[in-house]
Structure formats: C-alpha cells, structure tokens
Amino acid sequence: MAGQPVSYHGQGFSLLRDKNRFVLPSSLRAKVRESSGKDVLCLAKFPDWKCLVGFGLSRIDEFEAELDREQARADAAGRPFNRVKQAMALYTFQEVPFDGSGRFVMPDGMARLANIGDQVYFQGVGNVITIWNPEELYKESEDPVLEGAIEICRSMAEAELAKAKKK
C-alpha cells in the first residue's frame, strides 16, 4: 500500500441507483482498493474545477512531502506560503466505503460541492480520479485539455441512459 505510487487511468460513468448509490468503475475500483488496502474511496473538492477528486488512503502519506515541496517553491520565489491553509485543502476529504461491486453513497456535502445529481463521470488522471457531474464537465468545453474527457463522457452517458430506458 504505502510507498508504491498508484496511477489511476480509465473512465467510467454511473447513474444513481437503488439506495442512493453510484458505482465506482471496476478499472478504477481495483486501484483504489490496492491503494487503500480496503474498500475505501477518499473524496475531496478539486480546487480549480467544479468536480471532486477521489483517491486511495495511501495518497495521504504523500501530503506532507507535497506541502514541503510547495513551501520550498514559495520560499525560492520569495512568495508567502500559508502551510495551514494548504494543509486544509489537502486534508479536507471524506473516507467513503464501497462494497465489492463498487457501490457507494455520495456524501451530501461532497455532492453539493461538485453539483452532483443523478449522474457521475469518473476520469483517472494519475494520482487522483476526477469525479464530475457531466453537465459541469460540459461547461468546460472551451478548455482543450478536457475535450477528450467531454466526448468520452457524452458517449458513456448516452449508452448508460439508453440501457436504463430499456429496463
């Protein structure tokens, strides 16, 4: 678990299901389980986009080193650095259990932070997973970095919604 970097890659889409649960995609679930050592997904607000980030518990072990690097960069540039404020951003997350099939309940506060309703799109991006309300992702259409994710999300959403209609 700790000491081994985890790289999340791949995508997934989930509609809100019975008992108010979403499903963490299997490709990402295995990596979260590996990182956490158990079925726990950590959720936090992403600072730049209206989405959440998810990660396994082993990422917490990297926080102090990340703060040290940010402090060194600020010192080298002669900029002020508020370690407590930056730590608050890193350590404000919720541990959310998921079952063997990846089903989990999105905490209300986290859902509000990212405007998540009855659909979520997951995008693995290295050391975290971004978790989006598709409509919030589509609002970022001017950002060329997100162009691929937007199109994959649209395609996955169409497929899931069509599947749900058949039921």
Structural contact between residues 23 and 105, judged by C-beta atoms closer than 8 angstroms: no
Q: Based on the structure, what is the number of domains in the chain?
A: 1
What mean pLDDT, rounded, does the chain reach? 94
The answer as to whether 36 is a domain residue is yes
Give the integer Cα–Cα distance in Å for 142 and 80. 32
The answer as to whether 2 is a domain residue is no
Total-model pTM: 0.91
Structural contact between residues 156 and 23, judged by C-beta atoms closer than 8 angstroms: no
The answer as to whether 1 is a domain residue is no
The answer as to whether 97 is a domain residue is yes
Name the residue range of residue 81's domain. Answer: 8-166
The answer as to whether 102 is a domain residue is yes
The answer as to whether 158 is a domain residue is yes
Q: Is pLDDT at 1 greater than 50 in this prediction?
A: no
pLDDT band, residue 4 (cuts 50/70/90): low
The answer as to whether 41 is a domain residue is yes
Bridge partners (DSSP) of residue 105 are 21
The pLDDT value given to residue 2: 46
Q: Is pLDDT at 118 greater than 50 in this prediction?
A: yes
Domain CATH number, residue 134:
3.40.1550.20
Give the integer Cα–Cα distance in Å for 59 and 65. 11
Helix, strand, coil % over all residues of the chain, rounded to 5: 45, 25, 30
The pLDDT value given to residue 5: 72
The answer as to whether 114 is a domain residue is yes
